[in-house]
Structure 1
Amino acid sequence: MERSLSILQLIALFLLPYLFSHNLANTTTDLKTDESSLLAFKSHITNDSSHTTLGKNWTTKTSVCNWIGVTCGSRNYRVIALNISYMFLEGTIPPHIGNLSFLVSLDITGNRFHGDLPEELAHLRRLRVLNFVLIK
Structure 2
Amino acid sequence: MEKAATTFFSLALVLMLMHCFVALAGGAANYTSSDESALLAFKTHITYDPNHILATNWSTNTSFCNWVGVSCRHRGQNRVTSLNLSNMGLQGTIPPQIGNLSFLTYFNISFNHFNGHLPAELGQLRRLKVFH
In the alignment, which residue of structure 1 is the partner of 2:131?
130
Instruction: Kindly provide the CA deviation profile for residues 35-84 of structure 1, in whole angstroms up to 9, marking residues without a partner as x.
Output: 11111111111110111x10011111112112111111121311111111
In the alignment, which residue of structure 2 is the partner of 1:82?
83
Q: Which runs of 5+ in 2 are unaligned?
A: none
2:65 is the alignment partner of 1:65: yes
Whichever residue aligns with residue 69 of structure 1, its letter is G
Whichever residue aligns with residue 118 of structure 1, its letter is P
How do 1:1-136 residues align onto structure 2 when only pairs under 5 Å count?
A: 5=6, 10=11, 12-51=13-52, 53-75=53-75, 76-131=77-132
C-alpha separation in 1, matches of 2:46 and 2:100: 18
The alignment covers a number of residue pairs equal to 129
Q: Which TM-score applies when normalising by structure 2?
A: 0.85
C-alpha separation in 1, matches of 2:47 and 2:84: 18
Instruction: Kindly provide the CA deviation profile for residues 10-35 of structure 1, in whole angstroms up to 9, marking residues without a partner as x.
Output: 56522332222222211111111111
Aligned identity (percent) is 48
C-alpha separation in 2, matches of 1:128 and 1:110: 19
What displacement does 1:9 show? 5.1
What displacement does 1:114 show? 1.3
**Cα distance change of structure 1 residues 9 and 34 upon mapping to structure 2, 3 Å threshold:** same
Q: Which runs of 5+ in 1 are unaligned?
A: 132-136
C-alpha separation in 2, matches of 1:31 and 1:16: 23
C-alpha separation in 2, matches of 1:17 and 1:67: 33
> Secondary structure at 1:125's aligned position in 2?
coil
Q: Which TM-score applies when normalising by structure 1?
A: 0.82
In the alignment, which residue of structure 2 is the partner of 1:134?
none
**Cα distance change of structure 1 residues 74 and 8 upon mapping to structure 2, 3 Å threshold:** farther
C-alpha separation in 1, matches of 2:99 and 2:36: 13
**Which of the two has greater helix per residue?**
2
